[in-house]
A and B are shown apart, each in its own frame.
Chain A
Amino acid sequence: MTQLTLTLLAPLLAALVIFIGRRMPEIFALIGVVLGLVGAVGQLFGVVDGQTATAVLPFLPDMPILLIATPLTAILSLVVATVATFVVLYAVGYMRHDSQRVRFFGTLLLFVTAMQGLVLSGDWITLLGAWELIGFASYLLIGFWHDRAGVAAAATRAFLYTRSADLGLYVGAFVLIGVAGTSEISVTLTAATGTPALIAGLLLLVAAMGKSAQVPLQDWLQRAMAGPTPVSALLHSATLVAAGAILLIRTAPMLPNGALIAIGIVGGITAVITGLIALAEKDLKRLLAASTSSQYGLMLVAIGAGVPIAALLHLIAHAAIKSSLFLGAGVFQHDRDGTDMDALAGAGRARPGIFAGFALSALALAGIPPLAGFFSKDAVIAAALASPAAAWLVPLTLAATVLTGAYMGRALHVLWAGDVIEKPKPVPFMAAGLGVLVALAAVLAVGFGPLEHLLDVELPTAGFLAPALGLTAALSGLALGWWVEPQRLMGPLYGWAQRGFVLFGGMETVMARPALAIAAACEHLERWLYNLVLGFGRINISLGWLARKIDINGIDGFIFGFVRKTIATGGRARKLQSGFIHREMALAVIGMAVIVAVLLAAPLYS
């Protein structure tokens, strides 16, 4: 209970303190993530003791935030907390000279909070809220350097891609809630069967495809490299991209066969296609981004093969490996002011220590024993071999493994084979974060046995077949990547892969054009409405003008005319008054004479 609350609220409070206090963001960020890590470790010990902890935090009326620590969620939460801690440690060094550190660390901690909320939520509504917060925070972080060219567009693209796929989560979650009659996740997972479960599973797959950058929604992840490197490291290892896989791992118990096969196929195809993209990529960070999609494809293969635990293991190993790879790449980026492969040539040799860490992580990702990646990939291959859809999944998995080796081999080759052109300064904070994560990537595998025990599952074993296949694939991939130019290796596929396998004109045609057409139609309608309203206004103005005319020319004219006539009459009457007394008297006499005449004539006419 306490640990759960601590895990979720420590980063949130730290974020609030940073935003309100605006002082020493690094210190508070470190305190926040370390407290979160303490909480996560505590709750893991709790579930080892065999108790499932729940915490209910007050929120909206009748809608509390329900947190739950099962073995699965506790492990995932610990992964998130660990990666977050070391990424923040690294970011203290990376962002040292940035003037916007307050905004950076505040948003970063908000992001971590949202991710913990997603991982620990025991309720679909909480999960949806956390999911939205993740999208929002990632938008802010990818667009952190929004004044640089193209960054805002990349952030918007990431947001829109994931956001449109989120519709799947909404509909899927509400199908599950509707079937079960409650929004508690553990209940809905057992309640849904048959067609509703299939529909919900496919919809959740759509949501996961958006967040985990699976084909055909993979494009945004590479562009999201526009953000700062610690953000990329966090995004790719344990947070945003992981959200999709975590969603599927958590809902795996209810997924029916049809949905599982779809998940496996999507994952396998993604793993191969994004592997090819990574191999053809000319930018180190974009290569790593494409590789992330590929590795998450492998996790989806494991889920599709019905062994979500293999996916979980690979997720954990990948979290440590990919964050350390990004942190290494960030150091090289600082040295050479860019992540283009040509610019980075030889950057590794200039920093042997950092390069050793980077190489160790790269080998781990390729799957070389005894590093963590070997065991997790082995589990994935074994799961694929044991799956009913093995004929589909095994070739895709092995191809992805070869490609993983190839692109990592190529990256190492570029970093090592080149001229040393600088004398680098030591980077203690960055090296510390990187070192710990690399160590984790290397030795994480010792934790896999106890983990399986804790989760109470048996991984499928395929004897020596799976490790042998995996190791062969990894070694051949590494060799190919080190010695063979990707242009020769890929042949006609090279150019296509470099353009990101744009099918049917890519997203621009499939999504953007219809969207733009709808927008144009809306604008047309809007303009029509505008003109309509404007027309009404014009008619009213004309009426007002007419009324004014009538007022001026009619009523006023009448009144003023009356006044003028009266004045003229007065003027005429005035002329009678001459001022000559005799004349007036004479007039009076004449009048009197007329009266007398009339009176005298009376007998004549009466």
Chain B
Amino acid sequence: MIVELSVALSIGAGLFAVGLYGALSQTNLVMIMMGIELILAAALVNLVAFWRYLHPDVMSGQMFVLIVMTVMAVEMAVGFGIAIARFRSRGSVEMEEARELKG
């Protein structure tokens, strides 16, 4: 069982690493958000793995995962909304050019 848990955690860590690399290396807003999605997915994998192998009888872990997934969906909607608005007004979603949003 411990072996299975560490396999799941390794997959999570791999996802996290890929997501982190994506978020840091890309300049396109859409690509950065995809990286962040991957990081969040890694966290969810870890969460599910811990629930499944350490406390399978407590349902609140499962509930927590479902809520985090909902929040992810909402966050993506907002993020892509901003990206579309930016693209419409400026014709680009390069983050290096978006410094003026700092005000």
On A, residues with C-beta under 8 Å from B are 577-582, 585-586, 589
Contact partner of B102 (CB less than 8 A), chosen from A577, A585, A586, A589, is A577
Q: Are A581 and B102 in contact (CB under 8 A)?
A: no
With A and B bound together, what is the CA distance between A582 and B26 in angstroms? 9
Whether the Cβ atoms of A589 and B99 lie closer than 8 Å is no
Are the CB atoms of B24 and A585 closer together than 8 Å?
A: yes
A589 touches B24 (CB 8 A): yes
* 20 other A-B residue contacts (CB within 8 Å) besides A578-B99, A589-B24: A578-B102, A579-B98, A579-B99, A579-B100, A579-B101, A579-B102, A580-B95, A580-B96, A580-B99, A581-B32, A581-B95, A581-B98, A582-B24, A582-B27, A582-B95, A585-B23, A585-B24, A585-B32, A586-B24, A589-B20
Report the Cα distance A580→B32, complex, angstroms: 13
B76-103 CB contacts (< 8 Å) to partner A:
95-96, 98-102
Q: List 9 A-B contacts (CB under 8 A).
A: A578-B102, A579-B98, A580-B95, A580-B96, A582-B95, A585-B32, A586-B24, A589-B20, A589-B24
* Bound Cα distance A577, B103 (Å): 10
Return chain B residues, CB-CB under 8 Å to A586.
24
Give the distance to chain B from A471, nearest Cβ to Cβ, in Å: 129
For B95, give the chain A residue with the smallest CB separation.
A581
Chain A contact surface mostly: helix
Which residue from chain B places its CB closest to the CB of A586 in the assembled complex?
Answer: B24
Whole-angstrom distance between the Cβ of A576 and the nearest chain B Cβ = 11
Using Cβ atoms and an 8 Å threshold, which residues of chain A touch B96?
Answer: 580
| Residues from chain B with Cβ under 8 Å of A582 in the complex | 24, 27, 95
With CB as the reference atom, state the residue of chain A lying closest to B96.
Answer: A580
| Cα A104 to Cα B89 with chains together (Å) | 102
Instruction: Give, as a whole number of angstroms, the nearest-CB distance from A573 to chain B.
Output: 13
When distances are taken between beta carbons in the complex, the residues of chain B under 8 Å from A589 are 20, 24
Q: Which residues of B contact A579 (CB under 8 A)?
A: 98-102
In chain B, what residue has the closest Cβ to A577? B102
- Shortest distance between the CB of B31 and any CB in chain A (Å): 12
- Write out the residue numbers on chain A whose beta carbons fall within 8 Å of the beta carbon of B24: 582, 585-586, 589
- Counting chain A CB atoms within 10 Å of each CB, which of B23, B27, B100, B101 scores highest? B23
Q: Which residue of B lies closest to A581 (CB)?
A: B95
In the complex, which residue of chain B has the Cβ closest to the Cβ of A582?
B24
Question: What's the Cα separation between A586 and B35 when bound, in Å?
Answer: 13
What is the bound-complex CA distance between A586 and B98, given in angstroms? Answer: 17
Shortest distance between the CB of A579 and any CB in chain B (Å): 4
Complex CA–CA separation, A574 to B14 (angstroms)? 35
Closest chain B residue to A574, Cβ basis:
B102
**Cβ distance A169 to chain B, nearest Cβ, rounded Å:** 98
Q: Hey, which chain A residues are within 8 Å of B100, CB to CB? A: 579
CA distance A589 to B17 in the complex (A): 11
User: Distance (Å) between the CB of B102 and the closest chain A CB?
Assistant: 4
* B93 CB → nearest A CB, Å: 12
Give the Cβ gap from B38 to chain A, nearest Cβ, in Å: 14
**Closest residue on chain A to residue B23 by CB atoms:** A585
Bound Cα distance from A421 to B20, whole angstroms: 139
**Which B residues are CB-close (under 8 A) to A585?**
23-24, 32
Residues on the A chain within 8 Å of B101, using CB: 579
Alpha-carbon gap, A578 to B100, bound state (A): 10
Measured in the bound complex, the distance between the Cα atoms of B101 and A580 in whole Å is 10
Give the 4 A-B residue pairs with the shortest CB-CB distance, closest first. Answer: A579-B102, A579-B99, A581-B95, A585-B23
Closest-CB distance, A537 to chain B (whole angstroms): 57
Q: In whole angstroms, what is the CA distance A580 to B100 when docked?
A: 10
Of B27, B100, B102, the most chain A CB neighbours within 10 A belong to B102
Cβ distance A97 to chain B, nearest Cβ, rounded Å: 96
Give complex CA distance A581, B30 in Å.
Answer: 13
Q: What residues of A have a CB within 8 angstroms of the CB of B98 in the complex?
A: 579, 581
Nearest chain A CB to B90's CB is how many angstroms away?
15
Q: How far is the CA of A29 from the CA of B20 in the complex (A)?
A: 124
Contact with A along B1-39 (1 / 0, CB 8 A): 000000000000000000010011001000010000000
Question: How far apart are B12's CB and chain A's nearest CB, in angstroms?
Answer: 14
- B20 to A, closest residue via Cβ: A589
Q: How far, in angstroms, from A585 to B22 measured CA to CA in the complex?
A: 12
Q: Whole-angstrom distance between the alpha carbons of A582 and B27 in the complex?
A: 8
Per the bound structure, the CA–CA distance linking A535 and B24 in Å amounts to 79
Residue of A nearest to B102 (CB): A579
Of A579, A580, A586, A589, the most chain B CB neighbours within 10 A belong to A579
CB distance from A574 to the nearest CB of B (A): 9
Complex: A185 Cα to B100 Cα, angstroms: 112
Q: How far is the CA of A585 from the CA of B26 in the complex (A)?
A: 12
Shortest beta-carbon distance, B92 to chain A, in Å?
14
Within 8 A of A (CB), among B52-85: none
User: In chain B, what residue has the closest Cβ to A592?
Assistant: B20
Report the Cα distance A287→B64, complex, angstroms. Answer: 133
Complex Cα gap A582–B20 (Å): 11
Task: Name the A residues within 8 Å of B27 (CB-CB).
Answer: 582
CA distance A585 to B33 in the complex (A): 12
- Bound: A577/B95 CA distance, A: 15
Give chain B residues whose Cβ lies under 8 Å from the Cβ of A580. 95-96, 99
Question: Which A residues are CB-close (under 8 A) to B20?
Answer: 589
Minimum C-beta distance from B27 to chain A (A): 8
| A577 contacts across to B, CB distance below 8 A | 102
State the Cβ distance, B78 to closest chain A Cβ, in Å.
Answer: 16
How near does chain A come to B75, taking the closest CB pair, in angstroms? 15
A580 and B96 CA atoms in complex are apart in Å by 7
Least distance between B61 CB and chain A CB atoms (Å): 22
**Complex alpha-carbon distance, A578 and B20, angstroms:** 21
